[in-house]
Structure 1
Amino acid sequence: MPLFQKPRPPEIKDSRAARLIALTTSGRPQWTPRDYAALASEGFAKNPVVYRCVRMIAEAAAATPLIVFHDGQRALDHPLQKLLRKPNPEQGGPDLMEAFFGNLQTAGNAYLEAGGDSETPEELYALRPDRMTLVPGPRGWPLAYDYQAGGRTVRIARDADGWLPVLHLKLFNPTSDHYGLSPLEAAAFAIDVHNASSAWNKALLDNSARPSGALVYSNREAGDRLSEEQFERLKAELAGAHSGASNAGRPLLLEGGLDWRAMSLSPAEMDFTNGKHAAAREIALAFGVPPQLLGVPGDATYANYREANAAFWRHTVAPLVERAARAMTAWLEVKFPGVRIAPDLDAVPAFSAERDALWARLDAASFLTLEERRRMAGLEG
């Protein structure tokens, strides 16, 4: 061994995809097998209903605490619990899970990558779904994942024990074996209608005082025709004094045989407002968000806001978080034997009324032992 051997630089834990993110400066990401960029642009970025639905679901799901059980006992100091609390140097647990659930709602696919140099994962990262490509094995099961960014590709493959350091959670898709179906795709037509309605409203505002009809000139002595000078003067007057938002509602002064004849349908005749609200309700339906929580009028499914909020948590958020917890348990129990991840629904204020009713029933059941009551209440150990 040489006496003056140069020391090796210290190893730094990091995501294998992180180095590509810093090199990404331009270029449109390619989505397989659908155009994710168009869905994200037209749906999430340009539609307030979709934006609010995704944010509500992602924030609510991320706000639900994840707890770790080891051999049936709650383990507050378990390394996996610490990992979920602080998954990487840049994010806390709720921040990571918000990105994870947001990707799932936007793309129908969500990915977590485990990083670190030891045998057990030391860091977790949420990877962008539009940059991920599944590499199937001979039997169709995932063999590896390719992460593309900045014109480069990193393959994240299975380790020596056959464990894949990528968790892929996807929504059910009847036409694909490897990729999930996004709620954005199911609501695509409703999103187009809602966006078109907003574009119509914007155009109506910009051109509100421009006549949506015809000016008819009647003068038999002039042959029912305007002279070139009169025509140009009329055009200039309409463009300067009767177009644009600042001139909205300004009346037309007709003279010299001019008569106004409307030629377009009014928004009321086109049922403009009701159509836009119907599209908003369809979008909310695809995401599982009660329209009442979005302020969309015309929906009386729930008697009040509190019932709608409880239904949102019970039928949308809770199943989503429980599914993610089960997937994370199946993924990480290989590295952390004997563990189970579960959502702490008792910490969610929306379920307080249900929990109070359950505890009251258990307290009245005198024929049950204390251990049986704790087990039925979901308290283990």
Structure 2
Amino acid sequence: MGLIDRMASFMGYERRDDASPLDPSWQAVASNVGYPSVMSARMAENLSAVLACVNAISTALAYVPALVYRREGDNRTESLSHPVSRLARGQLATRMTWPDVIEHWIASALLTGNGLIEIVRSGNGQLSNLIFVPWQYVTVQELSSGRLAYDVGDGKGSMRRLLEGEVLHLRDRTDDGLLGRSRLSRSADTVQGVELANRHAREFLRNGASPSGLIEVPGTLTADQRDTLRSQFNGRHGGAGNAGKTLVLDGGMTFKPAQISPEDAELLETRQFGVIEICRLYGVPPPIIQAYENNTFTNAAQAGLWFATFCLSPWARKIEAEFARSLFPVGSSYELELDLSGFLRGDPATRWNAHKIAIDTGVLDPEEVRQVEGWNPRATEVQTNG
């Protein structure tokens, strides 16, 4: 450790090595015995349940309407001219669209505990662009003022510094109030167990998807004869590619397959339970990631509502709060809202029955119901058709 790093460590600063793919929040995922010493976010996504949960949350939030409202007293109106609203409706000044940037941002927070977007402003200080910053290229330091400095590398040796107010920093739950910590690292034993079950399944299939057996021979074999027989047998009949080949034995030899072990018989159930464990970490109902083992049509519909209410809504609130903190001035009348109403509408019969009750009780009028459904006012529609 260099002098600067020792001083930073003594002063309580956190520093990550840009040359290393390991994020500190992943150190707890590694095991000391028989397990890789490094597990990165990319390696974790090799687990299909992790990838599916991250995709389900990040994609859903990236593609819902992002609306900017201006509050005036007790009323609020949508502000289509606000820079955030314009960026959300059109393509950003990069190769990424708004959904791309938001999806990458949220996925980074789900996998590493932190997601970062650079705020780009024009010469007059107005918001002009949002750029996603991969977290593995970021080194964070706490300044003497208490603010965070984000040193961003480009992977080629160049560094530039961004300060709070110049970034949107999305955090998962934090231990120190500064940086988020990945929930996968908080449940390292669970992640390790799922990976070990998958590894066992791979080896089981690689060895022919069947247990080994016994070859009985009359008399006694020498050590060299046993090694030769074992080598020839494995070469011709071992592995999934050799499954089903005809076995020919001579010299009075007989083959007796061993019975499948209870551990191998329960392998499928173990892997299915691993999917449930990962879903539990992310708060995603299993049917959302196509885990239908215990699914019915009734609980599938409820799973969507549960997903929106208890998983998407908390993340949406965190995103709205981060935009308010970093992009809207203190005391501003503007606010961002991620419209999750599409997830909360329920089935058509239930939704329209709720609309009828709202109209009958005077809570809404027909024009407001049309607005909720995303339709134009009837007068405008009639005029356009005419």
Output the CA distance in 2 between the equivalents of 1:180 and 1:227: 58
Kindly provide the CA deviation profile for residues 150-202 of structure 1, in whole angstroms up to 9, marking residues without a partner as x: 333211136xxxxx2112121113x3331112232244333333332332222
Amino acid at match of 1:123: N
Q: Report 1:1-381 matches (<5 A).
A: 27-29=19-21, 31-32=23-24, 34-35=26-27, 38-44=39-45, 46-71=46-71, 72-85=76-89, 86-116=91-121, 117-138=123-144, 141-148=146-153, 149-157=155-163, 164-173=165-174, 175-208=175-208, 212-219=212-219, 224-226=220-222, 228=224, 230-231=225-226, 234-235=229-230, 237-250=232-245, 252-260=247-255, 266=261, 271-300=266-295, 303-334=298-329, 337-346=332-341, 348=342, 350-353=344-347, 356=352, 358-366=354-362
Gaps of 5+ in 1: 1-25, 159-163
Gaps of 5+ in 2: 1-17, 30-37, 375-386
Output the CA distance in 2 between the equivalents of 1:209 and 1:75: 61
Relative to structure 1, the CA distance from residue 97 to residue 327 in structure 2 (aligned partners, 3 Å threshold; closer, same or farther) is same
Amino acid at match of 1:115: V
Relative to structure 1, the CA distance from residue 133 to residue 355 in structure 2 (aligned partners, 3 Å threshold; closer, same or farther) is farther
Relative to structure 1, the CA distance from residue 143 to residue 184 in structure 2 (aligned partners, 3 Å threshold; closer, same or farther) is closer
After TM superposition, give the deviation of residue 75 of structure 1 in Å: 1.1
Output the CA distance in 1 between the equivalents of 2:148 and 2:210: 61
Give the count of matched residue pairs: 335
After TM superposition, give the deviation of residue 30 of structure 1 in Å: 5.1
Output the CA distance in 2 between the equivalents of 1:315 and 1:337: 29
Contact 1:242/1:250 (<8 A) preserved: yes
Contact 1:210/1:242 (<8 A) preserved: no
Output the CA distance in 1 between the equivalents of 2:281 and 2:297: 18
Kindly provide the CA deviation profile for residues 119-148 of structure 1, in whole angstroms up to 9, marking residues without a partner as x: 122111121122223322346x42422213
After TM superposition, give the deviation of residue 358 of structure 1 in Å: 4.8
Percent of pairs with identical residues: 22
Q: Once structures 1 and 2 are overlaid, which stretch shifts more, 61-70 or 33-42? A: 33-42
After TM superposition, give the deviation of residue 58 of structure 1 in Å: 0.8
TM-score w.r.t. the length of structure 1 is 0.75
TM-score w.r.t. the length of structure 2 is 0.74
Relative to structure 1, the CA distance from residue 311 to residue 283 in structure 2 (aligned partners, 3 Å threshold; closer, same or farther) is same
Output the CA distance in 2 between the equivalents of 1:284 and 1:93: 27
| Corresponding residue SS for 1:156 | strand
Relative to structure 1, the CA distance from residue 194 to residue 249 in structure 2 (aligned partners, 3 Å threshold; closer, same or farther) is farther
After TM superposition, give the deviation of residue 265 of structure 1 in Å: 5.2
| Corresponding residue SS for 1:88 | coil
Contact 1:302/1:308 (<8 A) preserved: no
Amino acid at match of 2:321: R
Output the CA distance in 1 between the equivalents of 2:24 and 2:263: 42
Contact 2:26/2:182 (<8 A) preserved: no
After TM superposition, give the deviation of residue 248 of structure 1 in Å: 1.0
Structure number with larger C-alpha Rg: 1
Output the CA distance in 1 between the equivalents of 2:297 and 2:211: 43
Output the CA distance in 1 between the equivalents of 2:214 and 2:364: 84
Relative to structure 1, the CA distance from residue 76 to residue 287 in structure 2 (aligned partners, 3 Å threshold; closer, same or farther) is same
| Corresponding residue SS for 2:320 | helix
Contact 1:66/1:325 (<8 A) preserved: no
Backbone CA RMSD of aligned residues: 3.4
